Chains A and B, each alone.
Chain A
Amino acid sequence: MDPKTAMYIAQGIHGLAYGMILFLIASGLNIIFGMMGILNLAHASFFMLSAYFSYQFLFMTGNFWAALLLAPLTTAFFGILVERFLLRKVHALGHMAELILTIGVSLVVLAAVKIFWGTESLPVKIPPILEGLISIAGMDYPVYRLFVIGLALAVLAAMALLLYKTRLGKIVRAAVSDADMVAALGINTPLVFMLVFGIGTWLAGVAGVAIAPILTVFPGLSDQVGMDAFVVVVTGGLGSLSGAFVVAIIFGLLSSYGVQFFSQLAPVLMFLFMAIVLAIKPTGLFGERE
């Protein structure tokens, strides 16, 4: 194996891992948007919050797996609080109000994070089993990146099962297409909405824990990764999970190969891609609704 191919493959793995993390965040955003019609601008903040929680739990328990379990759940709890006590009250006022409210929440989260954890970047250590490289067919792969890809695929599978094989999933899918009708059938849609918001923030939370060891935890995390996730959702089509998946993978590869080949242009490649897609198809690659 010549080193050049090895490097390309390594970059590809990095790109895939980043794409998977983007997809986790984007799918959370997408579920919330598809269900409730809310473009949740605070989503990236929950993602960052979860990264901080994972640092905190790791600090307290010393166990990465406990952090992986607890941090997303705590984040989802905060997400549910926000939905129940803030978003629900302004839902009647329309999308603009919800956008502003979520910007407000994201600012508060950013400030809170800075108050509690300071502004310097905090390292998150991964357990020894995920460290180092693994050798498959004469090639070395970083274990943690493979773990992230596997984790994302597992979460994706669980979500697909939940959405397509359970009664709850049926209700959720029905509410996506017509929430009023579902409510008329006697189903407590506010409760379902709350649950969906919780699941959405939980997905962002999983992504937050997954990225913490790669990028470390710092207050700019929500801007850096969150913006990418928004671009993914919009380019893939709002509310479309398959669109988000395809575009997240493209963007992940674009960002890792982009840095290698056109380092000058790398930060704008995604935005260029999005501008081209939206100019041709304003609803996004797979999107049906505005």
Chain B
Amino acid sequence: MTNKVLKWLAWSILVAILAAYPRIFGLYYTNLFVTFAIFALFSVSFNLLLGYTGLLSFGHAMFFGAGGYGTALALKHIPGLPLLPAVFMGLLTGVVLALMLCPLVVRVSGTAFAMLHLAFGELMHVLALKLRSITGGEDGIGGFPIPPLNIPGVLSIDMKSPENFYYFALVCLGVSLWVLWFFTKTPFGQIQIGVRDNSTRIDYLGFKVPQTKAVVYVVSAAFAGVAGSIYALFQNLISSSSLNVLTSFAPITITMVGGVGSFFGPVFGAAIFQIIEELTSRYTEQVELVMGLIMILVIMFAPMGFAGMINLLKQKWVSSRAARIDSKEPS
């Protein structure tokens, strides 16, 4: 069997499993999977900044929250707004917020970038709490109508059913991941990695470093906005807790556990965290303790994260197989 056939086979098995997932595992695990998908997308968008451009942000939650609020406000105030435009509103809110911050943040990097985001993130959080008439304060915005997915003349799918929403979230995640994957493989994606590794040299090569950062920043914010928007639709609620520091720390730890250097690392990381949270919350109340211990252990013993570990195992396997083939050959 050739490599290509194997690959297609693996993909189709994966799709089949995902398609059958809600029927096999039931409602509870379906909802769990949607949460995983949301955080996976959020973390992948974050990793676009950290892993690919070398910018650590302590306030990525503001785009997540902005996307959620954008969608929720649009659905609340515009009657009869279809589903996809509502998600698009979330994306747009993230983009607008990023464009507003862009001129300021692309000129700095390192700790200043991280702390500026902490500042703006906290600012957004406090604004969401104080502008009660718009955002609903601590309670947030809830109970907005969730429109069905309408493709005129073809079909209309009710989004209130968790199973349908699972497919919708899955498709959104899949499409977003594919777009982001494509984005990192373009020549522009290579410049982005260049900015991370040596921005001075990229500057000398004639590429514009601040502008490159700005584009990556806006793209990252847009997909964080999509994640937030789906989150708001899924919960039918968006509250100020989606903007706080803990939400900003979530993608950092997920990305670290999954593996910074890899595109799919954050997806693994989100899955691992979801599983751990699920298992620990069943047996103990101490989710924080377990999370903290895992972070310490991962950094101490597997600093490249899950993806790095897989790579290491793969290399070992390949080299041991090569050694076996060598020893079989007559010398």
Contacts and interface: CB of A to CB of B under 8 A. Distances in A.
Given A115-B286, A272-B123, A104 B111 contact: no
A93 interface: yes
Contacts of A169: none
Contact of A104 (B108, B109, B299): B299
A279 interface: yes
A103 B252 contact: yes
A275 B295 contact: no
Contact of B299 (A90, A268, A274): A90
Interface stretch (B114-122, B147-155, B175-183, B318-326): B114-122
Contact of A96 (B130, B260, B298): B260
Interface in B294-312: 294-296, 298-300, 303
Contact of A264 (B120, B130, B293): B130
B218 interface: no
Contact of B300 (A90, A103, A114, A282): A90
A100 B295 CA distance: 7
B299 A101 contact: yes
Contact of B252 (A100, A223, A274): A100
A283 interface: yes
B115 A278 contact: yes
A174 interface: no
B115 A105 contact: no
Contacts of A105: 292, 296
Contacts of A271: 118-120, 122-123, 126
Interface in B92-115: 104, 107-112, 115
A86 B110 CA distance: 23
Given A100-B252, A103-B253, A86 B292 contact: no
Given A104-B293, A107-B295, A268 B104 contact: no
A37 to B, nearest CB: 10
Interface in A80-96: 86, 89-90, 93, 96
- Among A114, A238, A274, find the residue whose CB has the most chain B CB atoms closer than 10 A: A274
A234 interface: yes
B170 interface: no
Contact of B295 (A101, A223, A234): A101
Interface residues of A, number: 41
A112 B292 CA distance: 11
A106 interface: yes
B119 A103 contact: no
B123 A97 contact: no
Interface residues of B, number: 38
B115 A100 contact: no
Nearest to A33: B111
A95 B181 CA distance: 27
A106 B286 CA distance: 14
Contacts of B115: 230-231, 234, 274, 278
A234 B260 CA distance: 25
A227 interface: yes
A108 B293 contact: yes
Interface string A138-151: 00000000000000
A227 B123 contact: no
Contacts of A196: none
A107 B289 contact: yes
A236 to B, nearest CB: 12
Most chain A Cβ neighbours within 10 Å, of B56, B256, B286, B299 = B299
A108 B292 contact: yes
B245 interface: yes
B288 interface: yes
B289 A278 contact: no
Given A103-B292, A271-B120, 20 more contacts: A99-B56, A99-B252, A100-B252, A100-B256, A100-B298, A101-B295, A103-B249, A103-B252, A104-B291, A104-B299, A108-B288, A108-B289, A108-B296, A227-B118, A231-B115, A268-B127, A272-B123, A275-B104, A275-B119, A279-B104
Interface of A: 39, 86, 89-90, 93, 96-97, 99-101, 103-112, 114-115, 223, 227, 230-231, 234, 238, 264, 267-268, 271-272, 274-275, 278-279, 282-284, 290
7 contacts: A86-B296, A109-B292, A111-B288, A264-B130, A275-B120, A278-B112, A279-B116
Interface of B: 50, 56, 104, 107-112, 115-116, 118-120, 122-123, 126-127, 130, 245, 249, 252-253, 256, 260, 286, 288-289, 291-296, 298-300, 303
